[in-house]
Chain A
Amino acid sequence: MDNSEYLQLFIEETEEHLQSISDHLLKLENSPADLDTIHEIFRSAHTLKGMAGAMHYENMAHLTHEMESRLDDLRSGRLTVTEQVLDVLFSAQDVLSEQLKRILESGSDDGIETTEVIQRIRSLGSVGADQTTSPVSRAKDAPWGRDVFSSARQAMQSDKFVYDISVEVDKASAMPSVRGFMVKQLCETLGEVLAMDPEDPSSDQFQGTLHLVLATEKDASEVLAAAKSISEIAQVEVQSFDLAPAPETRANTSQNAPQVSAPVQSKSVRVDVTRLDLLMNLYSEFLTDKTQLEQLAETRQDKELTEVVQHLSRVGADLQEVIMKIRMVPLETVFNRFPRMIRDLAKSLDKKVDFSVFGAETEIDRVLSDEIADPLIHILRNSMDHGLEHPDARIASGKPEVGTVSVRAYHAGNHVYIEIRDDGAGIRRDKIIAKATSVGLITPDRAALLSDEEVFDFLFHSGFSTADKVTDISGRGVGLDAVKTKIESLSGSVTVQSVVGEGTTFIIRLPLTVSILSAMLVRVGDESFALPVGSIVHMDKFIEQPSMGGQLRKMWDFRGALIPLVHLREVLSVADDAPKDAFIAVLSKGDKLSALVVDEFIGQYEIVLKPLGKYLSGRIHAISGATILGDGQVALIVDPNAFFS
């Protein structure tokens, strides 16, 4: 069977269920007696088992089957939720994630070690569960082992019918075990019994409900009639054996299952991201043609053409907005993994933390959401490791034993803000200054003049770590500097606020989108470059200021303040025998300014950002990407950050 068509669906749904298991396990940790939560986890495990079985991922099916058994014990009260149980279930979820990763990479779930975790799951079964008193009969969703599924599949392949049969012996029967034995015997004459629950219905423990899987050449009505011919049988149900049990129906037939509300139908469709990229590419071609038409209309001075082009521009702008909205995804997809990560960090660091997420519904360009996860994880690790104190230290300083860490996302203007806040010890300004002075970043006199924000900015310097000891959580040298570089490469910024004793907040600011931006096209020599309009604060004719030459670093007098002066021609090594250097653009980043000299301003355009790709990434200075102009030529996009280092 070729599963490739379903593979994508399988992966997406498995991801969702694994996420759900993780979320609910965390919930269960806080309210261990919540049956609904247990049931949700059971449902996910059950569905995963079914899907994995259908896709022939035997290892995954086996593991989820084992999980399901223990979850069933939890559900029925045979086992209670303890820390040990949660740890084992968390590990099982980890292994499942590994398996999914392996499936993604190699198409098979082989090679991920499962014996240990299965052993641990099984060992839970003996804790608190008294085998002799546990009910011998189960609901109709008796969990068959994977061997049963594979023998059922084999039987089907050799043209046999496989039935899932449940038989209820009349409660009035004096000797249910005799009836059970008769059913067993009958089935053995009809075909091959692949599995039976309980295994020995002729034992005195047998309570009257028998559930078995039968492979036979007879059809269902014959089996049904044969079973009913035995006396004192109250009910017989014969169903064809389901290799991939549908999650809802199976879960709902189980005993004691709380009624699960029907899932809310959302009016959305899944779209392959490559199609979105294609749409974006097409839109960028539309944009190039539109720009050309606009220029044409301007030179032709044709009234009718101008009107049509103006309308086209408006439609284009609306279209752009729609496309941008389609590309937006809620930050939830990134934030989802945090609660689990924080839990594990708290455990390994021996700290107590109350973690909360706000604004997970805040939307951001899909490209950004893919890229922002790593920096966020890094900052969170940092907050857990360096920010939050140990419980005893917190108590000693009069704080609640349990610390808080929160992630908060919101929109403001054309930006998305993500704040990561902890109520830990805060950052000590003097410690940072001492370290910065010792590594020669600054002199003590100068340090006194710096604002807190400027001091905290040293944290983002490479190789700068004030942590007293290096742990495996953070402080491995590659630290906040990588975070800053990454965020800036996404046209964002990161700042730190901190109050000693009260805590630290990292504030990340990101553009809503990086795919379409307003840019000023500039000419230098024979080459055109795009300069993001967002960073330009002023444009003017360039007048050489005589006093500015001859210094180590050129400066420019802008409204009475001296700001660094840079020739774009030199930065990008443009060959030009007759430089004109006619215009100047003043760029800003935060409250820093820098002046950039160019030959000519061509005009302002909406451009579509095209990545330069892995081959060149990191090898081109001061360029953040490229765009395709109206004439099909590629123009490079200048990275304004390059002028502020």
Chain B
Amino acid sequence: MMTKYVVFRVQNQEYCLSIAHVQSIEPMQSVTRVPTDINYVRGVTNLRGTVIPVIDLGLRLGIDAVQTTLETRIIVLSTKDDAAVGMIVDAAQTVIDLEDDMLQPALDSDEVAFTKYLVKVEDRVLYILDSERVMSIDA
């Protein structure tokens, strides 16, 4: 079966998320800081009249904070309980179709947190993220 995926970039790695989880992709906009201990929570932002939390995917994946440039995007994901969470990425590039049998389960040895599958497209390797894990809050 074919599924559509949004492809986006954090640092030099490309990641994918099934389009089913993605509500919209927004240009970077002003984010209000919230006082919290969770380091990857950037704050909250105004998404057309609704206040949504925004996380820094760079920090979430344990890399570096995303630096704001013209390419920076907020990918808005729908969570299980119908809420929305924004995710800051370095760039959101394309949408691609992937056959389910192209996906290879990620191994522990792949050393990539939050990755569910790997997929090889031409000469690139894309990491397909586990959206539930990305959206979860570590205790």
Contact = CB atoms under 8 A, between A and B. Distances in A.
Contacts of B70: none
B53 A615 contact: yes
A196 B11 CA distance: 77
A633 B137 CA distance: 25
A546 B139 CA distance: 42
B79 A281 contact: no
Interface in B90-115: none
B38 A619 contact: yes
A573 interface: yes
B50 A610 contact: yes
B50 A634 contact: no
B45 interface: yes
Interface stretch (B1-9, B27-35, B61-69): B27-35
Contact of A284 (B37, B44, B49): B49
A175 interface: no
B46 A616 contact: no
A635 B81 CA distance: 24
A636 B49 contact: no
Interface string B112-139: 0000000000000000000000010100
B74 interface: no
A633 B30 contact: yes
Nearest to A635: B32
B51 A628 contact: yes
Contacts of B34: 612, 616, 620, 623, 636
- Size category of the A interface is 20 to 34
Interface in A580-615: 610-615
Contacts of B38: 619
Interface in A431-478: none
A86 B44 CA distance: 53
Nearest to B31: A634
A610 B44 CA distance: 11
A38 to B, nearest CB: 43
A523 to B, nearest CB: 13
Given A610-B50, A626-B44, A633-B46, A619 B36 contact: yes
B50 A615 contact: no
Contact of B50 (A281, A622, A633, A635): A281
Contacts of B30: 632-633
Contacts of A527: 32-33
A620 B35 contact: yes
A311 interface: no
Contacts of B49: 281-282, 284-285, 628
Interface string A273-295: 00000000110110000000000
Nearest to B41: A616
Contacts of B137: 615, 619
Contacts of B135: 615
Contact of A634 (B35, B45, B84, B85): B45
Given A616-B41, A626-B44, A633 B32 contact: yes
B52 interface: yes
Contacts of B36: 616, 619-621
A620 B51 CA distance: 15
Nearest to B32: A634
A38 B38 CA distance: 59
Contacts of A285: 49
A282 B49 CA distance: 8
Contact of A621 (B35, B51, B81): B35
Interface in B8-45: 30, 32-38, 41, 43-45
A524 to B, nearest CB: 11
B35 A614 contact: no
Contacts of B81: 614
A207 B124 CA distance: 87
Contacts of A573: 35
A611 B35 contact: no
A527 B33 CA distance: 8
Given A619-B38, A620-B35, A626 B51 contact: yes
Contact of A613 (B43, B46, B51): B51
Among B30, B51, B79, the most chain A Cβ lie within 10 Å of the Cβ of B51
A572 interface: yes
A284 B34 CA distance: 21
Given A634-B45, A634-B46, A626 B32 contact: yes
B52 A613 contact: yes
A616 B84 CA distance: 11
A612 B46 CA distance: 11
A284 B85 CA distance: 21
A579 to B, nearest CB: 16
Contacts of B45: 634
Interface string A623-639: 10010100011111000
B80 to A, nearest CB: 9
Given A281-B50, A628-B51, A634-B46, A615 B85 contact: yes
Among A572, A622, A632, A635, the most chain B Cβ lie within 10 Å of the Cβ of A632
Contacts of A634: 32, 43-46, 51
Contact of A632 (B44, B46, B52, B79): B46
A186 to B, nearest CB: 59
A134 B14 CA distance: 79
A614 B32 contact: no
B30 to A, nearest CB: 6
B100 to A, nearest CB: 27
A154 to B, nearest CB: 36
A615 B43 CA distance: 11
Contacts of B43: 634
Nearest to A625: B51
Contacts of B83: 613-615
B33 A616 contact: no
A613 B84 CA distance: 9
Given A619-B38, A634-B44, A611 B79 contact: no
B32 A612 contact: no
Interface in A295-328: none
Contacts of B35: 571-573, 620-623
Nearest to A619: B36
A613 B32 contact: no
A614 B83 CA distance: 8
B51 A615 contact: no
19 contacts: A285-B49, A572-B35, A610-B51, A612-B34, A612-B53, A613-B51, A613-B52, A613-B83, A615-B85, A616-B41, A621-B36, A622-B35, A628-B51, A632-B30, A633-B46, A634-B45, A634-B51, A635-B32, A636-B34
The 4 closest A-B pairs by CB, nearest first: A610-B51, A634-B32, A572-B35, A281-B49
Given A285-B49, A612-B51, A619-B41, 13 more contacts: A284-B49, A527-B33, A610-B51, A612-B34, A612-B53, A613-B52, A615-B53, A619-B38, A620-B35, A626-B32, A626-B51, A628-B49, A636-B34
Interface of A: 281-282, 284-285, 527, 571-573, 610-616, 619-623, 626, 628, 632-636
